[in-house]
Structure 1
Amino acid sequence: MTDSLDTEIRNWQGKLLGRSVRRTRKCKRILDALGQVSSFQCLEISEGDGSISMKLRALGGSWKTAVPTREASDSLKHSLSENIGFIHEGKLPYEDNTFDRLVIVDALKYIEDDYGFIHECHRVLRSDAWVVISETKRAPLSLTGLLQKLFGLGPATRGARRKGYRAAELFDRLKDGFDVPETIAYSNGLLESASTLGEVIQKSILPVPCWMIREAVTPDEIKRYQSLYNLGGLFYPLAQLLALFEFIPGHKFLVRSRRRHWRPRLQPKLIDGRSIAEAAINTKIGTAAPF
């Protein structure tokens, strides 16, 4: 691919991000959770969304990116002019105590042994580091889940090991090496369901998610991006309206937590079999101080 085509594709990817209410809100929440990082060494674990990777780098600081799939690596090569780390058998290609901040952007569900991977993340983080995790909130009975299953969409079609997490499940992965996290749910079911229907239409124009860039692309890809951008303009006002229904339970959530010494902890159970975390969780678990 020529440099000019690569640049044009990156520009169109930025435009498509701006037309997606769902992705824009996710990106803003991640950036807000990170805060000031200009003096930090930062690590991103990415699902392959190069536009979000570029937004993270705009915060300043020094960044590295690692991915769990080859498709994610191929996509990011068009956006990042740097070596992209590959997570092989749950291991990160970095030295101990290297990073001050870790951001996992919708990528944890692709890792087979996610608990072991969180331990690996703990290894590469410094003692006072923070982790920010963006993930899908698993809802067994939801219209969004039904639509994704009906139309063959969702992370499972791209090799994800699980559909998402309940808040208590993420707490269970983190509890041995990180303080009890703050968990913020967002992106209500109406917005997610409408966005899923939009993905059905998008799939007829572009066979991969619009934020993924195929390894071998041609100038014809630009025409597809233009069509998606115009289509997104038609649905944008409706998506903005649906996003206002914040009282409806969210389908995405953001976790932020501080690293501490790794010490396996057993969770006491209540008489009904639930853990204390499961009983206490609503939309937040504990508290988290600002960065």
Structure 2
Amino acid sequence: MAAENVQREIRAAEEIVVQPDSLDSYHLRRKARRIAGALPRRGGRFLLIGAAGALERILQECGGEWESVDLEGLESTRREAPERRTVRPDHFPFPEGEFSGVVAVDVLEYIADEQNFVRECHRVLREEGQLVVHGRHLKRWALLNVVRRLAGVEEDHRLVRKGYSQSALFDALKDGFNIESFEIYSRFPTELAALVTALLFSRQHPAPPWLRRTLSALGWIAARMDALALGTKGYRFVALARRRVWRPRRSPVLRDGRSLAEAALGGKIGSAAPF
């Protein structure tokens, strides 16, 4: 019953801040639901890093008190939220134990010194506080990358790494957090629809109503096709990690560089599927 109530609140928030025929509304809603579903609990005080605009407002409507910031060098949404403060990845201007949860949306891949960023997240969290991370799922080979190159889409030059597998995220967080869940979503059909949406939007701005409705329908169809893409891995992930006492620890590895978990699965985590 509690889960149903949370989902109702998320849907209500979407109706308030996202127009049903907006250009990328379907992709935004899917992303918001995944992140909101990973939030540790209702209420509390949260630090939101990296999300702005409609996504930020949807998450805020889920309850609790929110503080939103951008990271230096990643102020891509500044025009959507000009009043947001900017912080350094290695120093947050908040006291220790200030937040019950930290939500980092699509920022970890851009941070060269990820360890100091993780340490700051740990510092501002309360005991037993939780960290929600949304980002790119690392895949050894991805058809979408081929399509992007053929379409002439350049990779963001600010990216420090292409993404995270489950084992890579564990390595990044292991000194101060225990990962409780790692959910992969958004397979090739959905990502292709999002790419088409972005390309058309860049060439027709503002987009006419008929195009917005068409692309919204395309997103809906792509999401249904995702369910048929069995045996493939998604391009996005949402992870939930719980804070613990900061204690550096090393992950045991085999001679070939694989972790014990990867050896048990017979390959590199997050790279089993070609699409």
Aligned to 2:127: 127
> Alpha-carbon deviation of 1:195?
2.3
* Residues in 1 aligned to 2:139 and 2:40: alpha-carbon distance in whole angstroms: 29
Aligned to 2:4: none
Aligned to 1:80: none
Identity %: 29
Relative to the length of structure 1, the TM-score reads 0.76
Aligned to 2:221: 238
Aligned to 2:247: 263
Corresponding position: 1:114 with 2:119: no
1:73 to 74, 78, 98: 78
AA in 1 matched with 2:198 = E
Question: For residues 27-78 of structure 1, what are the alpha-carbon distances to aligned partners after superposition, in whole Å with 9 as ceiling and x for unaligned?
Answer: 111111115322x0101111x441111011101111001112222333223x
> Alpha-carbon deviation of 1:153?
3.8
* Residues in 1 aligned to 2:212 and 2:249: alpha-carbon distance in whole angstroms: 48
* Residues in 2 aligned to 1:50 and 1:146: alpha-carbon distance in whole angstroms: 30
* Residues in 2 aligned to 1:34 and 1:17: alpha-carbon distance in whole angstroms: 26
Match of 1:157, SS? coil
Aligned to 1:34: 39
> Alpha-carbon deviation of 1:135?
0.8
Aligned to 1:54: 57
For the aligned residues, what is the CA RMSD?
Answer: 2.7
Aligned to 1:287: none
* Residues in 1 aligned to 2:137 and 2:22: alpha-carbon distance in whole angstroms: 21
Q: Which structure has greater helix proportion?
A: 1
CA distance 1:269–1:170, shift in 2 (3 Å):
same
AA in 2 matched with 1:255 = A
Aligned to 2:164: 165
* Residues in 2 aligned to 1:166 and 1:53: alpha-carbon distance in whole angstroms: 25
Structure 2 unmatched runs, 5+? 1-15, 271-275
Aligned to 2:84: 84
1:43 to 41, 47, 51: 47
AA in 1 matched with 2:75 = R
On the 8 A contact 2:193/2:222 being kept in 1, the answer is yes
Relative to the length of structure 2, the TM-score reads 0.80
| Count of paired positions | 250
Moved over 3 A (4+): 11-22, 149-154, 223-228, 277-283
CA distance 1:266–1:171, shift in 2 (3 Å):
same
On the 8 A contact 1:44/1:104 being kept in 2, the answer is yes
CA distance 1:261–1:153, shift in 2 (3 Å):
farther
* Residues in 1 aligned to 2:125 and 2:143: alpha-carbon distance in whole angstroms: 38
> Alpha-carbon deviation of 1:201?
1.7
Corresponding position: 1:64 with 2:48: no
On the 8 A contact 1:205/1:228 being kept in 2, the answer is no
> Alpha-carbon deviation of 1:84?
2.0
Corresponding position: 1:275 with 2:259: yes
* Residues in 2 aligned to 1:89 and 1:106: alpha-carbon distance in whole angstroms: 13
CA distance 1:14–1:49, shift in 2 (3 Å):
farther
Structure 1 unmatched runs, 5+? 1-10, 78-82, 207-222, 284-291
AA in 1 matched with 2:213 = N
On the 8 A contact 2:134/2:238 being kept in 1, the answer is yes
